[in-house]
């Protein structure tokens, strides 16, 4: 069996949904499970609903915009849209009800933001049926079982596996349409797996069902050695070992969600990244393989913040101080992207999320003189060669540099 994942861009309008149905028809021989994300930028819009609702802003107009967008799409896709429009209305009142009845902020976020995937999967399910592709809609909240860490649900693999395995029989006769990004906890609350988490959902389904492959349908021709919007000369990899792909995501390559590779690598399931606009292109196959002489891979990670902790009492940075820094980081659940130390200071680079960064700085100021810089870009050059090494080290605005035998990282102020 195969698992397909369609992201927001591949479902952003009626034409895109039609294109998806052609791919499903042409490229799915045998059993198929399709994971869909929210259409276009719906998740961002739903985040604004939560934000405005909690801060007394106009959330109602956001909700209206979201539903009008889906209604227009339905009107364009279906000859008889009434039944589906009616389902959409029901979903709109469910959403409003969630706002009224959920008090905890992170919990509320998950109960609301999940509607992007629900709407999308409902429309896709009905559309595929309308064009003669026999399929069943399944609620991922009953299949992907997590703990109650809202916004970042941790998978309960044993429960998830047994729920997902119950799909096997239906898969023999129907394609299954389900949602990415969302799961459910033991009390029946919706949880989400972290932004852009639909790829991870596809990997979970594939791992539990021992799928033959997972295909992520993207707006790029495959995994490339750089973002083509930034470096137009970027090339597409024919194949990549799991390890290389996983490391790329670690450094910030956004083509695949970082959690996607591990469950697939553990079961030896290949991951294909293919173009939804040009499905006949070969794309990239990520699997157990050896590739000689990989070209340099260049990953840009924007919106970085460099924090430096300076010792104030004429001692040098010691292990006790380092452990205080790491303790603060771990307590606030902040991930380090690069770190470097000198005699009297320890510097590190993290993603800039204002609340977190400010809380962290406040904590660190108890022991250190703290300096910080924002609006930085971290550029990682993995498998550098002489030329790329020189080019990036000499880039104007480099404020921190670090290299190992295979990887160069520079932090740049542009
Ligand atoms: N819709 C969710 C998001 O935009 C999940 C995903 O797209 O993978 O974050
Ligand atoms: Mg998305």
* 195 and 308 fall within a common domain: no
Question: Of all atoms in ligand 1, which is nearest to the CA of residue 199?
Answer: 8
From CA 163, how far away is CA 254, in angstroms rounded? Answer: 30
62 and 200: one domain?
yes
Q: Which of the four pLDDT bands, split at 50, 70 and 90, describes residue 51?
A: very high
Q: What is the mean pLDDT of residues 116-128?
A: 98
| DSSP reduced 3-state for 309 | strand
Same domain, 186 and 321: no
CA of 38, closest atom in ligand 1: 1
Question: Within 10 A of 58 (CB to CB), how many other CB atoms are there?
Answer: 12
pLDDT band at residue 107 using 50, 70 and 90 as cut-offs = very high
Whether 194 is in a domain gets the answer yes
Question: Of 189, 211, 233, which residue sits at a domain end?
Answer: 211
E-state strands within 185-288: 190-192, 213-218, 239-241, 271-275, 284-287
Which residue(s) pair with 345 in the sheet?
310
Atom of ligand 1 at shortest distance to CA of 201? 8
- For residue 157, what are the domain limits? 2-211
As a whole number of angstroms, the distance between CA 32 and CA 201 comes to 15
Q: What is the CATH number of the domain that holds 322?
A: 3.30.2130.10
- Average pLDDT of the residues in 255-283: 97
The DSSP element (H or E) to which 319 belongs, if any, is helix 319-331
144-193 pLDDT per residue, tens = 999 999 999 999 999 999 999 999 999 999 999 999 999 999 999 999 99
Nearest CA to ligand 1 atom 8: 196
pLDDT in tens, 323-363: 999 999 999 989 999 999 999 999 999 999 898 999 999 99
On average, the pLDDT of the chain sits at 96
What pLDDT does residue 20 have? 98
Q: How far apart are CA 78 and CA 151, in angstroms?
A: 34
The structure tokens listed for 224 are 């490339």
Between the CA of 261 and the centroid of ligand 1 the distance, in Å, is 17
How many whole angstroms separate alpha carbon 268 and alpha carbon 261? 10
Highest mean pLDDT of the ranges 253-257, 315-319, 404-408: 404-408
Q: Is the pLDDT of residue 17 over 90?
A: yes
| Interatomic CA distance for residues 143 and 206, integer angstroms | 13
The candidate with the shortest Cα–Cα distance to 388, out of 222, 233, 246, 220, is 233
**Which tokens in the block code for residue 179?**
């949602």
> 337: Cβ below 6 Å to ligand 1?
no
Query: pLDDT tens-digit profile of 199-254?
Result: 999 999 999 999 999 999 999 999 999 999 999 999 999 999 999 999 999 998 98
| Domains of the chain: total | 2
pLDDT of residue 28: 86
Q: What is the reported pLDDT for 314?
A: 82
Q: Do 206 and 306 belong to one domain?
A: no
Q: Does the pLDDT of residue 393 top 90, yes or no?
A: yes
Answer with the one of 211, 239, 272 that is the final residue of a domain. Answer: 211
Give the domain-ending residue among 170, 190, 211: 211
pLDDT tens per residue, range 270-295? 999 999 999 999 999 999 999 998 99
Q: Is 10 in the pocket of ligand 1 (CB under 6 A)?
A: no
Instruction: Give the model's confidence band at 313: pLDDT under 50 very low, under 70 low, under 90 confident, else very high.
Output: confident
Cα angle vertex 218, ends 212, 222, to 5°?
A: 75
Q: What is the DSSP string of 326-364?
A: HHHHHHTT--EEEEEE-SSEEEEEEE--HHHHHHHHHHH
Instruction: Return the percentage of the chain with pLDDT > 90, whole number.
Output: 94
Contacts of 317 (CB under 8 A, 6+ apart): 311, 341, 342, 343, 344, 345, 346
Mutation test residue for ligand 1: of 38, 217, 219, the one with most atoms within 8 Å of CB = 38
């Amino acid at each position: 069996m195969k698992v397909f994942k369609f992201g927001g861009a591949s479902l952003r309008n009626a034409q895109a949904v039609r294109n998806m149905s052609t791919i499903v028809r042409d490229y799915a021989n045998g059993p198929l499970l399709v994971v869909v994300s929210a259409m276009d930028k719906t998740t961002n819009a739903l985040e604004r609903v939560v934000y405005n609702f909690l801060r007394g802003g106009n959330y109602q107009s956001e909700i209206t915009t979201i539903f009008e967008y889906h209604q227009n799409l339905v009107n364009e896709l279906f000859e008889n849209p009434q039944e589906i429009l009616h389902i959409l209305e029901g979903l709109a009142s469910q959403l409003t009800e969630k706002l009224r009845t959920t008090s905890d902020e992170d919990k509320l976020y998950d109960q609301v933001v999940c509607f992007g995937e629900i709407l999308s999967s409902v429309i896709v399910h009905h559309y595929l049926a309308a064009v003669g592709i026999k399929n069943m809609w399944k609620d991922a909240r009953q299949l992907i079982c997590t703990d109650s860490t809202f916004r970042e649900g941790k998978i309960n693999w044993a429960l998830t596996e047994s729920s997902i395995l119950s799909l096997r029989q239906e898969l023999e006769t129907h394609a299954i349409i389900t949602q990415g990004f969302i799961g459910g906890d033991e009390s029946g609350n919706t949880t989400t797996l972290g932004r852009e988490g639909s790829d991870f959902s596809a990997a979970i389904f594939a791992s539990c069902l021992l799928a033959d492959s997972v295909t992520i349908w993207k707006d790029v021709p495959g995994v490339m050695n750089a973002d083509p919007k930034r470096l137009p000369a970027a090339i597409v990899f024919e194949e990549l070992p799991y390890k290389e792909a996983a490391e790329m995501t670690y450094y910030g390559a956004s083509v695949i969600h970082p959690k996607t590779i591990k469950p697939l690598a553990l079961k030896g399931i290949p991951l294909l990244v293919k173009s939804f606009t040009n499905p006949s292109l070969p794309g990239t196959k990520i699997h157990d393989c050896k590739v000689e002489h990989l070209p340099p891979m260049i990953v840009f990670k924007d919106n970085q913040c460099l924090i430096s902790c300076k010792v104030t009492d004429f001692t040098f940075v010691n292990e006790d101080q380092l452990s205080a820094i790491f303790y603060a980081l771990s307590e606030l659940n902040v991930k380090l992207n690069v770190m470097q130390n000198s005699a009297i200071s320890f510097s590190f680079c993290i993603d800039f999320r204002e609340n977190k960064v400010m809380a962290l700085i406040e904590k660190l100021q108890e022991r250190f003189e703290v300096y910080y810089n924002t609006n930085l870009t971290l550029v990682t050059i993995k498998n550098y060669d002489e030329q790329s090494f020189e080019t990036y080290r000499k880039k104007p605005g480099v404020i921190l540099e670090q290299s190992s035998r295979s990887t160069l990282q520079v932090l740049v102020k542009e």
